[in-house]
């Protein structure tokens, strides 16, 4: 489904602030994989999603989605194939538009626009049915402006809008980080249900180790622009947050030792 080969990315090249983040990163994602991505700050988790979605370019390397090279395709064209939900609940919805208008825009994604009604009456029931699955009462708030909804309601809507057009790939960039613990758990359950029911190939960046372990079928840990852990199946199920912290700490100590040897 997704194949990343020899990815290179350097920020602030040839300056005192040069940061060689990715130096030959490769990753293969199978169709239907639900991968949780964890790692230290600055490890490259969000940057990886930004490169995949075309938000920022890579310096070298190739990215294939369904065997199509999307490495140099503009972001607006990649968005036809990829759904994305951000950390900020306000980024994926229009606050001045109603729930119905936002959902209608999502349903019309990838379709040609012309001089016709943006909201089709025959699709209102479809929108209501989709919203009712969130169990947040949004199906009864079709005429309410999205800016008046809570952060959790907006994030649930953003998740539904990102998946309603059946994208090839779903990118979730810490989409629960800005929510309170109770709301975060609700969105985690919705995410699990939507991704599982729709069988959408998904990459989910998170700092919540419990969610990283309990959600998805595969876990990737990143550090300094590299994938240092990639586990799935029964091995992933047997993990604990404490064990993950030990694995990360061991790798960090190993890197520090390598740095000292290189400087010696």
Greater model confidence, 108 or 33: 33
**Residue 122 predicted with pLDDT over 80:** no
Average pLDDT, the chain: 88
| Mean of pLDDT values over 92-117 | 78
What is the pLDDT confidence band of residue 7, given thresholds at 50, 70 and 90? very high
Q: 101: domain range?
A: 2-263
140/136 Cα distance (integer angstroms): 9
* Percent of the chain as helix, strand, coil, to the nearest 5: 40, 25, 35
| Mean of pLDDT values over 95-119 | 76
90/158 Cα distance (integer angstroms): 9
| Mean of pLDDT values over 177-184 | 89
The residue count of the chain comes to 264
What tens digit of pLDDT does each residue of 68-77 get? 999 989 998 9
> pLDDT at position 133, please?
87
| Mean of pLDDT values over 6-22 | 93
What is the pLDDT confidence band of residue 178, given thresholds at 50, 70 and 90? confident
Report angle CA 114, 117, 122 to the nearest 5 degrees: 125
> pLDDT at position 110, please?
63
Share above pLDDT 70 across residues of the chain, in percent, rounded to a whole number: 91
> pLDDT at position 28, please?
96
- The 3-state DSSP class for residue 20 equals strand
Alpha helices in 108-240 (DSSP H): 124-132, 151-163, 181-198, 209-214, 233-237
| Mean of pLDDT values over 18-40 | 94
- The number of folded domains in the chain is 1
Share above pLDDT 90 across residues of the chain, in percent, rounded to a whole number: 62
User: By the 8 A CB rule, do 223 and 39 touch?
Assistant: yes
CATH number at residue 24: 3.40.50.300
What is the pLDDT confidence band of residue 262, given thresholds at 50, 70 and 90? very low
């Amino acid at each position: 489904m997704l194949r990343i080969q020899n990815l290179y990315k350097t920020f602030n090249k040839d300056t005192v602030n040069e940061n060689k983040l990715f130096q030959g990163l490769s990753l293969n994602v199978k169709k239907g994989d639900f991968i949780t991505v964890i790692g230290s700050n600055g490890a490259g988790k969000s940057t990886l999603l930004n490169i995949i979605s075309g938000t920022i370019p890579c310096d070298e390397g190739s990215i294939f989605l369904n065997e199509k090279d999307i490495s140099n395709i503009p972001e607006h064209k990649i968005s036809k194939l990829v759904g994305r939900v951000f950390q900020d609940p306000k980024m994926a919805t229009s606050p001045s538009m109603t729930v119905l208008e936002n959902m209608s825009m999502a349903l019309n994604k990838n379709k040609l626009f012309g001089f016709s009604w943006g909201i089709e009456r025959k699709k209102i029931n479809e929108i209501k049915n989709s919203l009712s699955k969130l169990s947040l009462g949004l199906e009864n708030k079709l005429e309410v402006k999205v800016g008046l909804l809570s952060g959790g309601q907006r994030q649930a809507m953003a998740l539904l809008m990102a998946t309603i057009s059946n994208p090839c790939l779903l990118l979730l960039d810490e989409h629960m980080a800005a929510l309170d613990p109770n709301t975060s758990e609700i969105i985690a359950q919705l995410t699990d249900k939507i991704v599982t029911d729709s069988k959408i190939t998904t990459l989910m960046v998170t700092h919540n180790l419990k969610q990283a372990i309990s959600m998805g079928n595969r876990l990737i840990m990143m550090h300094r622009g590299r994938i240092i852990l990639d586990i799935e199946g029964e091995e992933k199920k047997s993990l604990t947050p404490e064990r993950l912290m030990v694995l990360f700490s061991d790798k960090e100590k190993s890197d520090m030792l390598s740095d000292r040897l290189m400087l010696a």
